[in-house]
Structure 1
Amino acid sequence: MGLLNLLTSNPTAFVIIALALALSLTVHEFAHAYVADKLGDPTPRRFGRVTLNPGKHLDPLGTLLLLVAGFGFAKPVPINPANLGRWGTLWVSAAGPISNLLIALVAAILLKVLPHSDLALRVLLTVLGINVVLAVFNLIPIPLLDGSRILGALVPPLGRSLAQFEAQPFSFVLVMVFIYLARSPISGIITAVQGWVLGIVGYV
Protein backbone atom coordinates (compact mmCIF):
# COMPACT_ATOMS: atom_id res chain seq x y z
CA MET A 1 0.00 0.00 0.00
CA GLY A 2 1.33 3.40 -0.93
CA LEU A 3 1.86 6.18 1.55
CA LEU A 4 -0.67 8.39 -0.23
CA ASN A 5 -3.45 6.16 1.11
CA LEU A 6 -2.38 7.11 4.63
CA LEU A 7 -2.43 10.81 3.89
CA THR A 8 -6.20 10.94 4.20
CA SER A 9 -6.87 7.93 6.43
CA ASN A 10 -4.10 8.47 9.01
CA PRO A 11 -2.09 11.70 8.48
CA THR A 12 -0.02 11.16 11.63
CA ALA A 13 1.15 7.75 10.42
CA PHE A 14 1.90 9.27 7.00
CA VAL A 15 4.18 11.92 8.51
CA ILE A 16 5.93 9.44 10.82
CA ILE A 17 6.60 6.93 8.04
CA ALA A 18 7.62 9.56 5.48
CA LEU A 19 10.12 11.19 7.84
CA ALA A 20 11.47 7.83 9.01
CA LEU A 21 11.97 6.71 5.40
CA ALA A 22 13.71 9.97 4.47
CA LEU A 23 16.03 9.65 7.47
CA SER A 24 16.77 5.97 6.92
CA LEU A 25 17.39 6.17 3.18
CA THR A 26 19.57 9.25 3.61
CA VAL A 27 21.73 7.65 6.29
CA HIS A 28 21.99 4.46 4.23
CA GLU A 29 23.34 6.27 1.17
CA PHE A 30 25.50 8.62 3.25
CA ALA A 31 27.13 5.58 4.88
CA HIS A 32 28.11 4.22 1.46
CA ALA A 33 29.52 7.60 0.43
CA TYR A 34 31.33 8.25 3.73
CA VAL A 35 33.08 4.89 3.83
CA ALA A 36 34.10 5.13 0.16
CA ASP A 37 35.47 8.61 0.81
CA LYS A 38 37.43 7.47 3.85
CA LEU A 39 38.84 4.49 1.94
CA GLY A 40 40.26 6.73 -0.77
CA ASP A 41 37.61 6.93 -3.47
CA PRO A 42 36.85 10.60 -4.28
CA THR A 43 33.90 9.74 -6.55
CA PRO A 44 31.09 10.19 -3.99
CA ARG A 45 32.50 13.54 -2.88
CA ARG A 46 32.69 14.76 -6.48
CA PHE A 47 28.99 14.02 -6.81
CA GLY A 48 28.18 15.76 -3.52
CA ARG A 49 27.09 12.58 -1.78
CA VAL A 50 29.17 12.81 1.41
CA THR A 51 26.36 14.67 3.12
CA LEU A 52 23.28 14.07 5.26
CA ASN A 53 21.21 16.36 3.05
CA PRO A 54 18.24 14.20 1.93
CA GLY A 55 17.96 16.18 -1.29
CA LYS A 56 21.27 14.70 -2.45
CA HIS A 57 20.17 11.11 -1.87
CA LEU A 58 16.43 10.80 -2.51
CA ASP A 59 15.52 9.84 -6.05
CA PRO A 60 12.43 11.58 -7.55
CA LEU A 61 11.11 8.40 -9.21
CA GLY A 62 11.96 6.25 -6.20
CA THR A 63 10.18 8.69 -3.88
CA LEU A 64 7.13 8.75 -6.15
CA LEU A 65 6.98 4.97 -6.12
CA LEU A 66 7.11 5.01 -2.31
CA LEU A 67 4.14 7.35 -2.25
CA VAL A 68 1.96 5.47 -4.71
CA ALA A 69 3.15 1.86 -4.44
CA GLY A 70 4.78 1.55 -1.02
CA PHE A 71 8.09 0.54 -2.59
CA GLY A 72 10.87 2.76 -3.88
CA PHE A 73 14.56 3.52 -3.82
CA ALA A 74 17.16 6.22 -3.29
CA LYS A 75 19.92 7.33 -5.68
CA PRO A 76 22.76 4.79 -5.74
CA VAL A 77 26.06 6.29 -4.60
CA PRO A 78 28.57 6.31 -7.49
CA ILE A 79 31.89 4.69 -6.61
CA ASN A 80 34.97 3.57 -8.50
CA PRO A 81 35.92 0.03 -7.39
CA ALA A 82 39.38 0.56 -8.91
CA ASN A 83 40.04 3.10 -6.13
CA LEU A 84 38.78 0.76 -3.42
CA GLY A 85 39.98 -2.71 -4.26
CA ARG A 86 38.11 -5.89 -3.46
CA TRP A 87 37.79 -5.47 0.30
CA GLY A 88 37.19 -1.75 0.15
CA THR A 89 34.27 -2.38 -2.19
CA LEU A 90 32.93 -4.95 0.25
CA TRP A 91 33.00 -2.50 3.17
CA VAL A 92 31.42 0.27 1.12
CA SER A 93 28.63 -2.10 0.09
CA ALA A 94 28.09 -3.30 3.65
CA ALA A 95 28.09 0.21 5.12
CA GLY A 96 24.50 0.98 4.10
CA PRO A 97 22.84 -2.07 5.68
CA ILE A 98 25.09 -1.77 8.74
CA SER A 99 23.97 1.85 9.22
CA ASN A 100 20.33 0.74 9.12
CA LEU A 101 20.95 -1.98 11.69
CA LEU A 102 22.64 0.59 13.95
CA ILE A 103 19.67 2.95 13.66
CA ALA A 104 17.34 0.07 14.50
CA LEU A 105 19.47 -0.79 17.52
CA VAL A 106 19.42 2.83 18.74
CA ALA A 107 15.63 2.89 18.38
CA ALA A 108 15.39 -0.34 20.38
CA ILE A 109 17.63 1.09 23.11
CA LEU A 110 15.46 4.20 23.33
CA LEU A 111 12.36 2.01 23.57
CA LYS A 112 13.98 0.24 26.51
CA VAL A 113 15.46 3.09 28.52
CA LEU A 114 13.31 6.17 27.90
CA PRO A 115 9.83 6.91 29.18
CA HIS A 116 7.72 7.75 26.18
CA SER A 117 4.24 8.63 25.07
CA ASP A 118 2.12 6.65 22.62
CA LEU A 119 3.37 8.94 19.84
CA ALA A 120 7.01 8.36 20.76
CA LEU A 121 6.36 4.62 20.87
CA ARG A 122 4.90 4.73 17.35
CA VAL A 123 7.84 6.78 16.08
CA LEU A 124 10.48 4.49 17.56
CA LEU A 125 8.78 1.30 16.42
CA THR A 126 8.38 2.76 12.92
CA VAL A 127 12.04 3.79 12.74
CA LEU A 128 13.11 0.38 14.00
CA GLY A 129 10.87 -1.49 11.56
CA ILE A 130 11.82 0.54 8.50
CA ASN A 131 15.54 0.18 9.18
CA VAL A 132 15.32 -3.56 9.70
CA VAL A 133 13.44 -3.85 6.40
CA LEU A 134 16.09 -1.77 4.61
CA ALA A 135 18.95 -3.78 6.12
CA VAL A 136 17.46 -7.19 5.33
CA PHE A 137 16.23 -6.18 1.89
CA ASN A 138 19.57 -4.70 0.83
CA LEU A 139 21.52 -7.73 2.06
CA ILE A 140 19.68 -10.05 -0.33
CA PRO A 141 22.51 -11.30 -2.61
CA ILE A 142 20.84 -10.49 -5.92
CA PRO A 143 21.83 -7.88 -8.54
CA LEU A 144 21.11 -4.20 -7.88
CA LEU A 145 21.23 -4.72 -4.10
CA ASP A 146 24.13 -4.31 -1.69
CA GLY A 147 24.15 -8.03 -0.98
CA SER A 148 25.18 -8.80 -4.55
CA ARG A 149 28.16 -6.48 -4.30
CA ILE A 150 29.19 -8.03 -0.98
CA LEU A 151 28.91 -11.48 -2.55
CA GLY A 152 30.81 -10.25 -5.61
CA ALA A 153 33.67 -9.02 -3.43
CA LEU A 154 33.83 -12.37 -1.64
CA VAL A 155 33.63 -14.37 -4.88
CA PRO A 156 35.10 -12.20 -7.70
CA PRO A 157 34.13 -14.46 -10.66
CA LEU A 158 30.52 -14.41 -9.46
CA GLY A 159 30.77 -10.66 -8.94
CA ARG A 160 31.68 -10.16 -12.60
CA SER A 161 28.67 -12.22 -13.68
CA LEU A 162 26.36 -10.25 -11.39
CA ALA A 163 27.73 -6.96 -12.74
CA GLN A 164 27.09 -8.11 -16.31
CA PHE A 165 23.52 -9.03 -15.36
CA GLU A 166 22.96 -5.62 -13.75
CA ALA A 167 23.96 -3.96 -17.03
CA GLN A 168 21.08 -5.62 -18.87
CA PRO A 169 18.00 -3.42 -19.42
CA PHE A 170 15.65 -6.10 -18.10
CA SER A 171 17.56 -6.73 -14.85
CA PHE A 172 15.41 -4.40 -12.72
CA VAL A 173 12.18 -6.12 -13.79
CA LEU A 174 13.56 -9.60 -13.10
CA VAL A 175 14.81 -8.56 -9.67
CA MET A 176 11.41 -7.08 -8.79
CA VAL A 177 9.67 -10.30 -9.89
CA PHE A 178 12.04 -12.34 -7.74
CA ILE A 179 11.42 -10.15 -4.70
CA TYR A 180 7.65 -10.40 -5.22
CA LEU A 181 7.79 -14.20 -5.44
CA ALA A 182 10.08 -14.43 -2.39
CA ARG A 183 8.11 -11.94 -0.25
CA SER A 184 6.96 -14.56 2.28
CA PRO A 185 10.42 -15.84 3.31
CA ILE A 186 11.77 -12.27 3.20
CA SER A 187 8.99 -11.16 5.57
CA GLY A 188 9.87 -14.03 7.89
CA ILE A 189 13.52 -12.97 7.99
CA ILE A 190 12.52 -9.36 8.67
CA THR A 191 10.33 -10.43 11.60
CA ALA A 192 13.15 -12.57 12.99
CA VAL A 193 15.68 -9.73 12.75
CA GLN A 194 13.27 -7.30 14.44
CA GLY A 195 12.89 -9.75 17.31
CA TRP A 196 16.66 -10.17 17.48
CA VAL A 197 17.27 -6.40 17.67
CA LEU A 198 14.64 -5.97 20.41
CA GLY A 199 16.01 -9.00 22.23
CA ILE A 200 19.53 -7.55 22.33
CA VAL A 201 18.32 -4.69 24.53
CA GLY A 202 15.93 -6.85 26.51
CA TYR A 203 12.79 -5.15 25.21
CA VAL A 204 10.99 -8.45 24.51
Structure 2
Amino acid sequence: MQELISTLTIWALPVLFAITLHEAAHGYAARHFGDATAERAGRISLNPLRHIDPMGTIVVPGLIVAMSSLAGAPPMLFGWAKPVPVNFGRLRRPKADMLWVAAAGPFANLVMAVGWALLFKLAVLSPDGMYALPMAKMADAGIQINAVLLFLNLVPLPPLDGGRIAVSLLPPGPAYKFAQIEPYGFPILLLLLFTGILGNILGPLVAFFRFALAIVFGL
Protein backbone atom coordinates (compact mmCIF):
# COMPACT_ATOMS: atom_id res chain seq x y z
CA MET A 1 0.00 0.00 0.00
CA GLN A 2 2.84 2.39 0.83
CA GLU A 3 4.40 1.75 -2.58
CA LEU A 4 1.05 2.41 -4.26
CA ILE A 5 0.62 5.73 -2.42
CA SER A 6 4.17 6.69 -3.35
CA THR A 7 3.50 5.89 -7.02
CA LEU A 8 0.28 7.91 -7.08
CA THR A 9 2.06 10.85 -5.40
CA ILE A 10 4.86 10.80 -7.96
CA TRP A 11 2.44 10.73 -10.90
CA ALA A 12 -0.12 13.25 -9.63
CA LEU A 13 1.78 16.46 -10.43
CA PRO A 14 3.04 15.41 -13.89
CA VAL A 15 -0.46 14.29 -14.91
CA LEU A 16 -2.06 17.54 -13.74
CA PHE A 17 0.58 19.66 -15.48
CA ALA A 18 0.35 17.63 -18.69
CA ILE A 19 -3.42 17.91 -18.98
CA THR A 20 -3.73 21.51 -17.74
CA LEU A 21 -1.10 22.99 -20.05
CA HIS A 22 -2.32 20.92 -22.99
CA GLU A 23 -5.84 22.31 -22.69
CA ALA A 24 -4.71 25.86 -21.88
CA ALA A 25 -2.50 25.81 -24.99
CA HIS A 26 -5.57 25.15 -27.15
CA GLY A 27 -7.28 28.14 -25.57
CA TYR A 28 -4.29 30.44 -26.03
CA ALA A 29 -3.96 29.42 -29.69
CA ALA A 30 -7.68 29.87 -30.35
CA ARG A 31 -7.60 33.38 -28.85
CA HIS A 32 -4.53 34.23 -30.90
CA PHE A 33 -6.32 33.22 -34.11
CA GLY A 34 -9.50 35.12 -33.31
CA ASP A 35 -11.80 32.94 -31.16
CA ALA A 36 -12.32 34.10 -27.57
CA THR A 37 -14.77 31.33 -26.63
CA ALA A 38 -12.29 29.58 -24.31
CA GLU A 39 -11.30 32.87 -22.71
CA ARG A 40 -14.90 33.79 -21.96
CA ALA A 41 -15.44 30.33 -20.47
CA GLY A 42 -12.46 30.85 -18.16
CA ARG A 43 -10.53 28.00 -19.75
CA ILE A 44 -7.38 29.94 -20.62
CA SER A 45 -6.03 29.18 -17.18
CA LEU A 46 -3.23 27.30 -15.49
CA ASN A 47 -5.63 26.33 -12.70
CA PRO A 48 -6.03 22.53 -13.02
CA LEU A 49 -9.51 22.68 -11.46
CA ARG A 50 -10.81 24.44 -14.57
CA HIS A 51 -9.73 21.57 -16.81
CA ILE A 52 -10.20 18.44 -14.68
CA ASP A 53 -12.74 15.84 -15.73
CA PRO A 54 -13.25 13.75 -12.57
CA MET A 55 -13.47 10.46 -14.45
CA GLY A 56 -10.94 11.10 -17.22
CA THR A 57 -8.36 13.08 -15.24
CA ILE A 58 -8.48 11.36 -11.85
CA VAL A 59 -10.31 8.02 -11.75
CA VAL A 60 -9.13 6.40 -15.01
CA PRO A 61 -5.42 7.45 -14.82
CA GLY A 62 -5.39 6.65 -11.10
CA LEU A 63 -6.72 3.14 -11.69
CA ILE A 64 -4.21 2.55 -14.49
CA VAL A 65 -1.28 3.71 -12.31
CA ALA A 66 -2.54 1.63 -9.37
CA MET A 67 -3.01 -1.55 -11.42
CA SER A 68 0.35 -1.07 -13.16
CA SER A 69 2.07 -0.52 -9.81
CA LEU A 70 0.54 -3.67 -8.34
CA ALA A 71 1.54 -5.62 -11.44
CA GLY A 72 5.06 -4.19 -11.38
CA ALA A 73 4.71 -2.86 -14.94
CA PRO A 74 5.24 0.67 -16.31
CA PRO A 75 1.87 2.37 -16.85
CA MET A 76 0.57 3.18 -20.35
CA LEU A 77 -1.59 6.04 -19.15
CA PHE A 78 -4.88 6.93 -20.76
CA GLY A 79 -7.09 9.82 -19.71
CA TRP A 80 -8.69 13.06 -20.73
CA ALA A 81 -9.67 16.51 -19.51
CA LYS A 82 -12.69 18.67 -20.24
CA PRO A 83 -12.20 19.82 -23.85
CA VAL A 84 -11.51 23.52 -24.24
CA PRO A 85 -14.45 25.07 -26.15
CA VAL A 86 -13.38 26.39 -29.54
CA ASN A 87 -15.69 27.89 -32.14
CA PHE A 88 -13.71 27.19 -35.29
CA GLY A 89 -16.11 29.38 -37.28
CA ARG A 90 -14.82 32.41 -35.39
CA LEU A 91 -11.19 31.84 -36.35
CA ARG A 92 -9.88 34.31 -38.89
CA ARG A 93 -9.18 31.49 -41.37
CA PRO A 94 -11.23 28.62 -39.92
CA LYS A 95 -9.86 25.69 -41.92
CA ALA A 96 -6.22 26.81 -41.92
CA ASP A 97 -6.13 28.08 -38.33
CA MET A 98 -7.75 24.86 -37.06
CA LEU A 99 -4.40 23.16 -37.64
CA TRP A 100 -2.52 25.50 -35.28
CA VAL A 101 -5.21 25.43 -32.59
CA ALA A 102 -5.25 21.62 -32.67
CA ALA A 103 -1.45 21.32 -32.77
CA ALA A 104 -0.99 23.64 -29.77
CA GLY A 105 -1.95 20.91 -27.27
CA PRO A 106 0.48 18.22 -28.46
CA PHE A 107 3.17 20.90 -28.86
CA ALA A 108 2.70 21.82 -25.19
CA ASN A 109 3.21 18.15 -24.29
CA LEU A 110 6.38 18.07 -26.38
CA VAL A 111 7.76 21.12 -24.57
CA MET A 112 6.84 19.65 -21.18
CA ALA A 113 8.50 16.32 -22.03
CA VAL A 114 11.70 18.19 -22.84
CA GLY A 115 11.38 20.17 -19.60
CA TRP A 116 10.96 17.01 -17.54
CA ALA A 117 13.96 15.48 -19.32
CA LEU A 118 16.03 18.48 -18.24
CA LEU A 119 14.80 18.02 -14.66
CA PHE A 120 15.72 14.32 -14.84
CA LYS A 121 19.22 15.31 -15.96
CA LEU A 122 19.51 17.73 -13.03
CA ALA A 123 18.36 15.01 -10.65
CA VAL A 124 21.01 12.62 -11.99
CA LEU A 125 23.70 15.27 -11.53
CA SER A 126 22.45 16.35 -8.10
CA PRO A 127 24.71 15.45 -5.17
CA ASP A 128 21.72 15.36 -2.81
CA GLY A 129 20.55 11.77 -2.88
CA MET A 130 17.59 12.41 -0.55
CA TYR A 131 15.78 14.58 -3.10
CA ALA A 132 17.43 13.38 -6.30
CA LEU A 133 15.67 10.00 -6.46
CA PRO A 134 12.08 11.31 -5.95
CA MET A 135 12.81 14.14 -8.39
CA ALA A 136 14.12 11.68 -10.97
CA LYS A 137 11.06 9.44 -10.55
CA MET A 138 8.69 12.39 -10.96
CA ALA A 139 10.62 13.64 -13.99
CA ASP A 140 10.48 10.17 -15.53
CA ALA A 141 6.70 10.12 -14.96
CA GLY A 142 6.50 13.57 -16.57
CA ILE A 143 8.34 12.36 -19.64
CA GLN A 144 6.08 9.30 -19.89
CA ILE A 145 2.70 11.02 -19.53
CA ASN A 146 3.61 13.82 -21.93
CA ALA A 147 4.98 11.37 -24.50
CA VAL A 148 1.76 9.34 -24.30
CA LEU A 149 -0.47 12.43 -24.60
CA LEU A 150 1.67 13.78 -27.44
CA PHE A 151 1.26 10.70 -29.64
CA LEU A 152 -2.24 9.81 -28.45
CA ASN A 153 -3.56 13.22 -29.45
CA LEU A 154 -1.84 13.03 -32.82
CA VAL A 155 -3.80 9.90 -33.78
CA PRO A 156 -5.75 11.06 -36.88
CA LEU A 157 -9.18 10.39 -35.45
CA PRO A 158 -11.72 13.16 -34.76
CA PRO A 159 -12.20 14.61 -32.17
CA LEU A 160 -8.55 14.08 -31.23
CA ASP A 161 -6.11 16.82 -32.21
CA GLY A 162 -4.71 14.63 -34.96
CA GLY A 163 -8.19 14.38 -36.45
CA ARG A 164 -8.55 18.17 -36.41
CA ILE A 165 -5.16 18.52 -38.08
CA ALA A 166 -6.20 16.00 -40.76
CA VAL A 167 -9.45 17.90 -41.40
CA SER A 168 -7.44 21.11 -41.76
CA LEU A 169 -5.05 19.56 -44.28
CA LEU A 170 -7.55 17.62 -46.42
CA PRO A 171 -9.37 19.23 -49.38
CA PRO A 172 -12.86 20.56 -48.49
CA GLY A 173 -14.84 17.53 -49.75
CA PRO A 174 -12.82 14.77 -48.05
CA ALA A 175 -12.36 17.01 -45.00
CA TYR A 176 -16.13 17.32 -44.56
CA LYS A 177 -16.65 13.56 -44.90
CA PHE A 178 -13.78 12.78 -42.52
CA ALA A 179 -15.16 15.21 -39.93
CA GLN A 180 -18.42 13.20 -39.86
CA ILE A 181 -16.53 10.47 -37.98
CA GLU A 182 -16.32 12.70 -34.88
CA PRO A 183 -19.44 11.39 -33.05
CA TYR A 184 -17.98 7.89 -33.27
CA GLY A 185 -14.38 8.89 -32.51
CA PHE A 186 -14.38 8.23 -28.77
CA PRO A 187 -16.05 4.77 -29.00
CA ILE A 188 -13.55 3.86 -31.74
CA LEU A 189 -10.71 5.04 -29.49
CA LEU A 190 -11.97 2.93 -26.58
CA LEU A 191 -12.25 -0.07 -28.89
CA LEU A 192 -8.65 0.43 -30.01
CA LEU A 193 -7.60 0.75 -26.36
CA PHE A 194 -9.32 -2.37 -25.05
CA THR A 195 -8.27 -4.54 -28.00
CA GLY A 196 -4.64 -3.55 -27.44
CA ILE A 197 -4.31 -1.98 -30.89
CA LEU A 198 -3.81 1.50 -29.44
CA GLY A 199 -1.04 0.28 -27.16
CA ASN A 200 0.67 -1.47 -30.06
CA ILE A 201 0.62 1.80 -32.00
CA LEU A 202 1.64 4.14 -29.19
CA GLY A 203 4.13 1.86 -27.43
CA PRO A 204 6.88 1.93 -30.08
CA LEU A 205 6.39 5.68 -30.68
CA VAL A 206 6.69 6.49 -26.98
CA ALA A 207 9.70 4.18 -26.60
CA PHE A 208 11.47 5.79 -29.57
CA PHE A 209 10.70 9.28 -28.26
CA ARG A 210 12.11 8.44 -24.84
CA PHE A 211 15.18 6.91 -26.49
CA ALA A 212 15.67 10.10 -28.52
CA LEU A 213 15.42 12.24 -25.37
CA ALA A 214 17.92 9.96 -23.63
CA ILE A 215 20.38 10.43 -26.51
CA VAL A 216 19.91 14.21 -26.66
CA PHE A 217 20.24 14.77 -22.90
CA GLY A 218 22.67 11.95 -22.18
CA LEU A 219 20.30 10.24 -19.76
**Fold match by TM threshold 0.5:** yes
TM-score (ref. length: structure 2): 0.82
- Per the TM alignment, residue 113 of structure 1 is displaced from its structure 2 partner at its CA by 4.4
What residue is the counterpart of 2:71 in the other structure? none
Moved over 6 A (4+): none
Task: Give the corresponding residue for 1:14.
Answer: 8
Give the alignment partner of residue 159 of structure 2, picking from 120, 126, 144. Answer: 144
Are the aligned partners of 1:97 and 1:138 in contact in 2 as well (CA < 8 Å)? yes
User: What is the aligned partner in structure 2 of residue 198 from structure 1?
Assistant: 214
Q: Take 1:31 and 1:87, find their aligned partners in 2: how far apart are those partners?
A: 17
Alignment partner, residue 3 of structure 1: none
**Which 5+ residue runs of structure 2 have no aligned equivalent?**
65-76, 127-131
Does the CA contact (< 8 Å) of 1:105 and 1:197 recur in 2? yes
The separation in 2 between residues aligned to 1:196 and 1:120, in whole angstroms, is 21
Give the distance between the partners of 1:113 and 1:166, measured in 2 at CA.
Answer: 42
Aligned pair 1:76/2:70, yes or no?
no
Does residue 25 (structure 1) correspond to residue 16 (structure 2)? The answer is: no
Alignment of 1:15-54 (within 5 A): 15-54=9-48
Deviation string, structure 1 residues 130-157 (Cα, Å, up to 9, x no partner): 1111101111111221101011101143
Q: CA deviation at 1:8?
A: 5.2
Instruction: Report the RMSD for the aligned CA atoms in angstroms.
Output: 1.8
Further displaced range: 83-92 or 105-114 = 105-114
* Aligned positions, number: 195
Matched to 2:7, the amino acid is A
Aligned pair 1:109/2:124, yes or no?
no
Amino acid at match of 1:125: D
CA distance in 1, matches of 2:63, 2:139: 24
1:91 to 79, 84, 100: 100
- Cα-to-partner distance string for 1:20-43 (whole Å, 9 max, x where unaligned): 111110000000011111111011
User: Structure 1 pair 176/126, CA: closer, same or farther in 2 (3 Å)?
Assistant: same
- The C-alpha deviation readout for 1:66-97, integer Å capped at 9, x for no partner, is 23355321011111111222221100100000
Do the aligned residues in 1 keep the contact of 2:192 with 2:198 (CA within 8 Å)? Answer: yes
Unaligned runs of 5+ in 1: 1-6
The residue that corresponds to 2:67 in the other structure is none
The structure-2 alpha-carbon separation of the partners of 1:90 and 1:171, relative to structure 1 and needing over 3 Å to count, comes to: closer
Question: What is the deviation of 1:189?
Answer: 0.9
Counterpart amino acid of residue 174 in structure 1: I
Higher mean C-alpha displacement, 188-197 vs 64-73? 64-73
Q: Is residue 33–residue 97 contact of structure 2 (8 Å, CA) maintained in 1? A: yes
> 2: distance between equivalents of 1:57 and 1:96?
13
Q: How far does residue 55 in structure 1 lie from its aligned partner after superposition?
A: 0.8
Aligned to 2:169: 154
